[in-house]
Structure 1
Amino acid sequence: MSGAKGGLIRRMVLATCVLVVFVGGAFATLLVSISENRETARLSQRSHELFAAADQVNRHTIELRAAQESYALSGDKEFLARWQTAHTALVESNQHLEALATTDTQRQQTRQIAQTSTAFADEVSRPAVEAAQRGDAGAKSASVLLEGDRRIDQLHTDLSVLRETERDVIQARDTETAATANREMIAIIAGIAGSALAIALVGGYQTRLLVQPIRRAAAMADRLAGGALGTRMPETGKAEIGRLERSFNVMAEALQHSVGTQSALRRVATLVAHGGTPGEVLAAVVEELGRLVGTGAARIVRFEADGTATVVAAWGAPDPEMPVGARVSLGDDTATGIVQRTGQTARMGSFDGATALVAIHARELGAHASVSAPISVAGRLWGAVTVFAMGDQPMPPDAEERLTAATDLIGTAVANAQAHDDLAASRTRVVLATDEARRRIERDLHDGVQQRLLSLGLDVRRIQHTVSARQPELRAELSEVVDGINGTVDDVREISRGVHPAILTEGGLKPALKALARRSAVDVDVDLDLADRLPGPVEVAAYYVVAEALANAAKYACATRIEVRGAVRDGRLDVSVRDDGVGGADPGRGSGLVGLADRVEALGGTIRVDSPAGRGTHLRVQLPLLHT
Structure 2
Amino acid sequence: MFRNMRIGLRLTAGFAAVLLLLIVIGLVGIQQLNRVNGETAEIFHDRWPKTVQANEIIDNLNVISRALRNALLTDDASFRQAEWQRISDARKLIGERVEQLEKTSNTATGKNLLAKVKDATDAFLAGAERAMRMAQTDRNQAAEYLLKEMRAFNQAALQSATDLILYQERAMDQASQEAAAFVRQAERLILLLSVSALAVAAAMAFWITRSITRPLTEAVAAANALAGGDLGVRLQSRSRDEVGELLQAMNVMIERLSQTI
Contact 2:131 2:145 in 1 (8 A): no
Structure (1 or 2) with the larger CA radius of gyration: 1
Contact 2:39 2:178 in 1 (8 A): no
1:130 maps to 2:129: no
1:30 partner letter: G
Q: Look up the match of 1:114.
A: 118
Contact 1:72 1:139 in 2 (8 A): no
State the shift of 1:187 in Å: 1.0
From 135, 154, 157, the equivalent of 2:156 is: 154
State the shift of 1:92 in Å: 0.9
Matched position secondary structure for 1:102:
coil
Q: Look up the match of 1:30.
A: 29
Alignment of 1:53-452 (within 5 A): 53-74=53-74, 75=77, 76-122=80-126, 124-132=127-135, 134-138=136-140, 140-196=142-198
Alpha-carbon distance between aligned partners in 2 of 1:99 and 1:138, rounded to the nearest angstrom: 41
- Map Cα deviations across residues 379-422 of structure 1 (whole Å, 9 max, x no partner): xxxxxxxxxxxxxxxxxxxxxxxxxxxxxxxxxxxxxxxxxxxx
Alpha-carbon distance between aligned partners in 2 of 1:83 and 1:183, rounded to the nearest angstrom: 52
Matched position secondary structure for 2:96:
helix
State the shift of 1:145 in Å: 2.4
Contact 2:105 2:111 in 1 (8 A): yes
**CA 39–139 in structure 1, closer or farther in 2 if over 3 Å, else same:** farther
- Map Cα deviations across residues 282-310 of structure 1 (whole Å, 9 max, x no partner): xxxxxxxxxxxxxxxxxxxxxxxxxxxxx
1:14 maps to 2:17: no
Alpha-carbon distance between aligned partners in 1 of 2:177 and 2:133, rounded to the nearest angstrom: 52
Alpha-carbon distance between aligned partners in 2 of 1:53 and 1:136, rounded to the nearest angstrom: 35
Contact 2:25 2:194 in 1 (8 A): yes
- Map Cα deviations across residues 343-400 of structure 1 (whole Å, 9 max, x no partner): xxxxxxxxxxxxxxxxxxxxxxxxxxxxxxxxxxxxxxxxxxxxxxxxxxxxxxxxxx
State the shift of 1:31 in Å: 1.6
State the shift of 1:197 in Å: 5.8
RCO higher in 1 or 2 (8 Å CA, sep ≥ 6)?
Answer: 2
State the shift of 1:63 in Å: 0.8
Contact 1:112 1:158 in 2 (8 A): yes
Alpha-carbon distance between aligned partners in 1 of 2:187 and 2:36, rounded to the nearest angstrom: 13
Q: Name structure 2 gaps, 5 residues minimum.
A: 209-261
Matched position secondary structure for 2:106:
coil
State the shift of 1:69 in Å: 2.3
- TM-score normalised according to structure 2 size: 0.66
Q: Which has the higher strand share?
A: 1
Q: Look up the match of 1:483.
A: none
1:155 partner letter: A
Measured on the aligned residues, the alpha-carbon RMSD in Å equals: 2.9
- Map Cα deviations across residues 561-600 of structure 1 (whole Å, 9 max, x no partner): xxxxxxxxxxxxxxxxxxxxxxxxxxxxxxxxxxxxxxxx
Contact 1:73 1:140 in 2 (8 A): no
Contact 2:117 2:160 in 1 (8 A): yes
**CA 64–203 in structure 1, closer or farther in 2 if over 3 Å, else same:** farther
Alpha-carbon distance between aligned partners in 2 of 1:34 and 1:28, rounded to the nearest angstrom: 10
1:191 partner letter: L
Q: Look up the match of 2:213.
A: none
Contact 1:129 1:139 in 2 (8 A): no
Contact 2:61 2:158 in 1 (8 A): no
Contact 2:68 2:83 in 1 (8 A): yes
Contact 1:116 1:155 in 2 (8 A): yes
1:150 partner letter: A
**CA 166–85 in structure 1, closer or farther in 2 if over 3 Å, else same:** closer
1:185 partner letter: E
Alignment of 1:476-495 (within 5 A): none
State the shift of 1:203 in Å: 9.5
State the aligned residue count. Answer: 200
Q: Which has the higher helix share?
A: 2
Contact 1:69 1:140 in 2 (8 A): no
Contact 2:48 2:172 in 1 (8 A): no
Alpha-carbon distance between aligned partners in 1 of 2:167 and 2:38, rounded to the nearest angstrom: 19
State the shift of 1:180 in Å: 3.8
Alpha-carbon distance between aligned partners in 1 of 2:145 and 2:84, rounded to the nearest angstrom: 21
- Map Cα deviations across residues 71-97 of structure 1 (whole Å, 9 max, x no partner): 233242111221211111111121122
Matched position secondary structure for 2:24:
helix
